[in-house]
Amino acid sequence: MNRYFAFALIVCAAGLLNACSQMESVMGVASSTGLTSTLVNRLGVSETQAAGGVGSMLAFAQQHLAAGDFDLVAKAIPGSEKYLGMAKQLLGGAPISDKAGLQGAFSKLGMSPNMVSQFSPIVTDYVSKAGGQQAGNLLAGVLK
103-114: pLDDT as tens digits: 999 999 999 999
Give the pLDDT mean for 69-73: 97
Q: Is the pLDDT of residue 30 over 80?
A: no
What pLDDT is stored for residue 10 in this prediction?
A: 65
Q: What is the mean pLDDT of the chain?
A: 84
Pick the closest to residue 143 from 47, 33, 63, 26 (CA basis): 63
Q: Mention every residue, 6+ apart, whose C-beta is less than 8 A from residue 116.
A: 53, 57, 99, 102, 103, 106, 143
Give the pLDDT mean for 61-73: 97
Give the pLDDT mean for 26-54: 80
Pick the closest to residue 143 from 121, 127, 128 (CA basis): 121
Half-sphere exposure of 45 (CA within 13 A, CB side): 25
Pick the closest to residue 70 from 14, 144, 142, 6 (CA basis): 142
Ranking 14-18, 96-100, 115-119 by mean pLDDT, the lowest is 14-18
